[in-house]
Every structure is written in C-alpha cells, then in structure tokens.
Structure 1
Amino acid sequence: MGRTDHASRVIAASPATVYGALLDRESLETWLPPDGMRGRIERWDPRPGGGFRMILTYLDPEGSPGKTSDATDVVDVGFADLVPNERVVQRAVFEAEDPSLAGTLTMTWHLAAAGDGTEVTVTAADVPPGIDQAAHEEGIASSLANLAAYVEAAG
C-alpha cells in the first residue's frame, strides 16, 4: 500500500461547473496536465466503469524522465464513482516498466460549495513509492490551478 497525497483549492465557480470540467474530454486535455506537460486523450468513456487513456508529454524532458518513456507518462484511468456536483473517483494505472511505479492510484476529487465558489480537494491514495511526493503534490496543485483558470475564464 502506498502513501496518500493531498491538495485543495477554492475555485470561483459552482460545483456543477467544476464537475462538468472533470467529465469533459476537451476540458481535461486542457487543464489536467500539470505545468510543463501537455495531454492528449486517446480513449474516452465518461461513466462509472468507463474511463480514459491519457498521454502526458513533457515539454522539456531534460531532468524530468517520464514513467512510460523519456518524454511521456501514459495513464489508464477508470471512473470508479461519479456523484454529480460532489465527487469523482478515478483509478489510475501508469504504464511503466519500473516496479516502483506499479499499482493503482486512487484519485478522489471532492467538491464542496464554498461561498460563491467550490472547494476542490484532491486525495491521491495508494501512490506508488516511485512517484516523488513533493513533485506529485506540486503536480496536483498545478492541475488545480489550471482547472481554476479554465473554469473561471469560462464563467
């Protein structure tokens, strides 16, 4: 069993708007990749039991070795639970030959109304030991900042 990483942010958008961005293919490709990466979704099935496959590519792979190849992280994500405007639970498996990166990472995106916005709390459970904690939490925070910018600009 791996560790648990966390990040949270209040976003100036309704829970319904944030939830929509968590389940829209084009939105995810735009905001989910952390700074220094771009993403492309290959497969998309937004329902419980469905999921997606995302290719994350490092814009500058120097010093940022990917999990799947020198420049990429490939992740298969399943939707384990979808509760409209409240929660999205994803199970993510990275394609990697390194056994320290193996396993299923559970990402829970919890949405709670906070004044005129939404507090988004991300909990990553069973994080494989080969994923650096500080870098992972920084990546989650970066994705949350991207999500905020994306939905706040649309609102």
Structure 2
Amino acid sequence: MDRTDRASRVIAAPPANVYDALLDRESLEAWLPPEGMRGRVEWWDPRPGGGFRMVLTYLDPTDSPGKTSDATDVVDVGFAELVPPERVVQRAVFEADDPSFAGTMTMTWHLAAAGDGTEVTVTATDVPPGIDQADHETGIASSLANLASYLEGTD
C-alpha cells in the first residue's frame, strides 16, 4: 500500500480554531462525514495514544455500499501525533471483512497560517487498495468543505 491521497483548502479561521475542531468530539461529528453521510463517535479519547471510533452511515447506500455493512463504514482512529496548532496525525483502520480494505492508513492534517486563515492539507498514506482514489480525494475535499462551513459559520 504505497498510495498517497491528498486534498487541501484554505479556511477562514486561525490555526488554533481549526486544530480545536479536529480534537472536539461534537465538532468532528458535525463536519467530518463527507457529503452523503452522517457520523457518530462511539468512543473518544483525544490525546496522543488515544483516539476514537466513528460510525459513518451512508444516507443512500444504493451506489456506495459500505465497507463494514451495506450502509456503514466503521473506522477506529488512533491519535499518533498531536502538535498544536500545526498537525494532527491519525492512524485509521476500517472494520471490514474484505481484505482490500485491510491495513492501517495514516491521515496527516497539516495546518499552516495563510493570511487571515489556515491552509489545511490532508495527506493519506498507505491507503487500502479497496478505497477508490478519486472517491477518497473527493470525500476528503467534502470533509474540508464541511470544516470550512462549520468554522466560518456559513452553509
């Protein structure tokens, strides 16, 4: 699994606010699920070595069958590194019977001041081959758009 997927976006909020939204349970539930999904955090431990479990549910699973069940993706995420307000490194493992979704994907959220805002770059490495690259990058971009909307107070 040598593939790397990425997306970035400038968000009109300071790096500290973006960082806080990455480590707040209710915030994460609100903005992380990409378009067409909703999310629920089952457990939460926001510290290095901690993590969370998120259940992502497809609003219409007809064309997007889930990895864990027909309508869901369940992912266990560990916090590998927390560097306020610059970086969050996560290790994500999907709950799936299909071996093409097996393995640990690393998600690095890099935050850099950009004028009055923050450039957020998400880099996913060791992406399981069962995850379509175009769909994954679209999903990351959708989460970033949700994060921008959440922090900027826009729809």
Distance 1:67 1:2 in 2: 20
- Show the counterpart of 1:143: 143
TM-score of the superposed pair, with normalisation by structure 1: 0.98
Could you tell me how far apart the structure 2 residues matched to 1:90 and 1:28 are? 13
Q: Hey, what does 2:4 align to over in structure 1?
A: 4
In the other structure, the counterpart of 2:20 is: 20
**In 2, Cα distance between equivalents of 1:22 and 1:146:** 12
The one-character-per-residue Cα deviations of 1:10-68 (angstroms, maximum 9, x if unpaired) are: 00000000000000000000000000000000000000000000000000010110000
Superposed displacement of residue 93, structure 1: 0.1
Query: Equivalents in 1 of 2:69, 2:135: separation in Å?
Result: 18
Q: Give the letter for the 1:83 counterpart.
A: V
What is the distance in 2 between the residues matched to 1:133 and 1:15? 27
CA RMSD of aligned residues (A): 0.8
> Matched residue pairs, number?
154
Distance 2:14 2:79 in 1: 22
Q: Is the 8 A contact 1:2 1:129 kept in 2?
A: no
Q: Distance in 1 between matches of 2:127 and 2:26?
A: 26
Cα deviations across residues 67-106 of structure 1 (Å, max 9, x unaligned)?
A: 0000000000000000001000000000000000000000
* Structure 1 residue 2, shift from structure 2 partner: 3.4
Q: What are the residue-to-residue correspondences of 1:31-110 with 2, within 5 Å? A: 31-110=31-110
Structure 2's unaligned 5+ residue stretches are none
What 5-or-longer segments of structure 1 have no aligned partner? none
What is the alpha-carbon distance in structure 1 between the residues aligned to residue 83 and residue 42 of structure 2? Answer: 24
Q: Deviations over 1:111-142 (max 9, x none)?
A: 00000000000000000000000000000000
Distance in 2 between the 1:2 and 1:95 partners? 20
TM-score for both structures, normalised by structure 2: 0.98
